[in-house]
Structure 1
């Protein structure tokens, strides 16, 4: 079958791959909607996960099930499904302890286009199908559904990791797709003030729509100084963009309790 792969760091192209094999708990899907991720760019051009040869790219997909294993109970061929970017082995010690992202080792739940071939292929393999697929509602827009696989879930997960609670003040640094979903997630969790750091007009407009109460433009000055001047410090910070300096600024803008 045909697939689009990183042939080696800095190089991509079409490759021939064997049809994936379906285990008893697994599924084979064909893609019907795909999205590239900046992680794919980092993988290819920055070598962020190290050298790989003919590694099929992609981890954001909506697919149609074409085959299921003998022990799969919730899905059948023909089902349209959301395929998440992270597909843990749910029987692993790490997943059973509540750390599914790290099943099998650090970041081990991220398999597609990392430890195994990704979804930019005529067919792709999904492990633990009953735990890693979600049936799409009839009529759901496929492009919107594809965003649920990574962008939406990553942004909301950031809010969960930050422990945002009702009444908290929150800064979200970076308002690309993931950051915008963190803004939305913070609002859903009941944040009283949300400081969104960004400048692109379309992203600023969406950030306000999703619940941002203040927009911080990093072109104007240091973002930590701006947020401290407005708030005296925030309760939670979610970093969804920036560089090494951003982590220092994130610490600086947190409210001091002593």
Structure 2
């Protein structure tokens, strides 16, 4: 089968691979809609370590082609939503604590499509633990909205969940790309009184306001910490959804004693953190730092779909570049890598 990914670091291209096989608990799918992500392009440049001959992609809706003998809830022909993280739910670590990320098989092991197996930019791909990881795609949610639940909405909302937001709080969101936009929407739905987004792209700023941002601060207009302190003083929570490692120091400078910093940013393997102790109150500020990766599984995606069904948010509005056909994955990937100024997020519709 064909798939698009990284032949080597900084060498993306089409690959020929054997068609994957579904195990007893698994499902074999073919993609019907996919969205390239910055995590894919980040990986292609070696940001998550050296990889070769790996099919990329982790945001997909699919059609079931085959199911393993122990799969009960799905059959060939079903259209499904595929979480980007597909945990092995029998893992003892997942039974010990509510974590879809770090468990027995290693850090981020639930993020299989970018780590331990080929991704979804392929003619066929498998999903482990199909009954616990797949969700039916129903007609009451658009393809665009459903596709954005699998990573962007789930990750962005997780940033808001980890920020310990109370109603009336003031929250800063670093970065108003797709994940930051969803963090903005999540903060607003959690009841934040004021949500300040940091970014410069006009269409992202416009959509951020639609999703609940009350203010937009541009780093092109001066130091963002000084701008926000002048605007509102210290804030209750910061959500880091973009920027480099210096975003942590800025967030610590902005967060009040007893507040929370929530990071959902995907850093580079070469990055290091250096935090001046004064920015953390000499270690006495009682500021909590939460970091985490997008939770997975069918239950979470089902709840996000319910938020969409209720009309609370429509994440599909972020998809402003549209392509048709499997072969267009390459073009959409390159657009995501180059990031023209008007880009928010691309989608590729696929018919077989």
Q: Which residue of 1 aligns with 2:57?
A: 58
Q: Aligned partners of 2:48, 2:214: CA distance in 1, in Å?
A: 37
Gaps of at least 5 residues in structure 2 are 259-284, 286-352
Give the alignment's TM-score, normalised by structure 2: 0.70
Give the alignment's TM-score, normalised by structure 1: 0.95
Equivalent residue runs for 1:1-80 within 5 Å: 1-45=1-45, 47-80=46-79
Equivalent residue runs for 1:219-234 within 5 Å: 219-234=220-235
Q: Which residue of 2 aligns with 1:211?
A: 212
For the residue of structure 2 that corresponds to 1:4, the secondary structure is strand
Q: Aligned partners of 1:178, 1:77: CA distance in 2, in Å?
A: 32
Equivalent residue runs for 1:155-174 within 5 Å: 155-174=156-175
* Bigger mean CA deviation after superposition, 136-145 or 87-96: 136-145
1:38 to partner: Cα distance: 0.7
For the residue of structure 1 that corresponds to 2:150, the secondary structure is coil
Note the aligned Cα RMSD (angstroms).
1.4
For the residue of structure 1 that corresponds to 2:208, the secondary structure is helix
Q: Aligned partners of 1:140, 1:163: CA distance in 2, in Å?
A: 29
- Stretches (4+) displaced over 3 A: none
For the residue of structure 1 that corresponds to 2:101, the secondary structure is helix
Q: Is the 8 A contact 2:109 2:115 kept in 1?
A: no
Q: Aligned partners of 1:147, 1:247: CA distance in 2, in Å?
A: 26
Figure out how many residues of one structure are paired with residues of the other and give that number.
257
For the residue of structure 1 that corresponds to 2:132, the secondary structure is helix
Equivalent residue runs for 1:69-148 within 5 Å: 69-96=68-95, 97-103=97-103, 104-138=105-139, 140-148=141-149
Provide Cα deviations, 1:202-233, integer angstroms capped at 9, x if missing partner: 11111111111111111111111111222221
Tell me which of the two structures has the higher relative contact order, counting C-alpha pairs closer than 8 angstroms and 6 or more residues apart: 2
Q: Is the 8 A contact 1:237 1:250 kept in 2?
A: yes
